Amino acid sequence: MKTKKDTSFGIIGGDLRQAWLANILSDEGCKVIISGLEQCDTVSSDIKAGSVEDVMSTADTVVLPLPVSRDGTCLNAPFSPSTIYLDKIAASAKSGQLIAGGILSEDFMSRLAEHGALTADYYKREELTILNAIPTAEGALEIILRESKRTVYGSNVLISGYGRIGRVLTRMFKGLGARVYVSLRKQSDNAWVLTEGAEPVFIDKIRSCAECIDTVINTVPHVLFDGSLLRAFRPSALFVDLASPPGGIDFDAANRLGIKAISAQSLPGKCAPFTAAEIVKETIFNIMEEQILP
């Protein structure tokens, strides 16, 4: 049976996370071939590059980016000189090959399975999503330090949502001396927020604290901050949206109201790509152990 170092890895497309993933695997002695990263200077020149077909025919395990696609047709590959179509990847898959990606559609997984490939959505793995919350929160902090006109210390911060990222944000901003409000739906979350020393605010009560808020960090992936709710905030409030599309903020309404709102998705790949790549690598190794390795 193959070990991790005996396994050949293919890395196709993606941002700096994929580039660093290729470097890390290569440095650990794994066989790596890449495609769709030709315009990225971060990738080691020692790593072999080839076409998508070369990667698919060579690699035992193929790692696709997070997200795999932004339109359902083309691979997310900002460093590729040409468009890479999901159809090409699916048509080149082979039996027994492990193909892992972030936010894999059911249709794409079905097409891969038709060729006997094993599929895994690493974005659904708890070990990745929990650890990924840390660089996401740090990236949000970096944006706020750069864009805000005041210190975090002593400011009033509203965190929308109390999932993995919301919990990390709550502790981080409490630790920096902010007064933290957390919008939530569940009574159980209400109790946890209280134990963190933060102020719980049920979603239907956000207006009651809006006037005092300096910064809003949204983690909920549906529009909560529409024009009506945004009017309850001061124009000087800063909004940072971390949620995946469609996000939680009506940006057109914010613009009309003179409120600064920043869309900040995929922060781990922008602010901490090396750490994010290490998290992906460990998650892929866990998947391999469960599916194909002894």
**Higher-confidence position of 236 and 293:** 236
| Count of structural domains, the chain | 2
Asked if residue 245 has a cis previous peptide bond (ω within 30° of 0), the answer is: no
pLDDT in tens, 81-139: 999 999 999 999 999 999 999 999 999 999 999 999 999 999 999 999 999 999 999 99
Q: Are residues 195 and 89 in the same domain?
A: no
**Higher-confidence position of 250 and 245:** 250
Domain CATH number, residue 42:
3.40.50.720
Q: Is 99:122 a contact under the CB 8 Å cutoff?
A: no
In a domain, 3, yes or no: no
What is d(CA 86, CA 36) in angstroms, rounded to the nearest whole number?
12
Question: Identity (one letter) of the amino acid at 163?
Answer: G
pLDDT for residue 6? 78
Q: Are residues 181 and 100 in the same domain?
A: no
What is d(CA 62, CA 56) in angstroms, rounded to the nearest whole number?
7
In a domain, 1, yes or no: no
Q: Over pLDDT 70: what percentage of the chain?
A: 97
Q: Are residues 103 and 136 in the same domain?
A: no
Instruction: With a cut of 50, say whether residue 265 has pLDDT above it.
Output: yes
Q: Show the domain range for 195.
A: 129-263
Hey, what are 4's tokens? 């991790």
Mean pLDDT calculated for residue range 266-271 = 89
Instruction: With a cut of 80, say whether residue 78 has pLDDT above it.
Output: yes
Question: Identity (one letter) of the amino acid at 21?
Answer: L
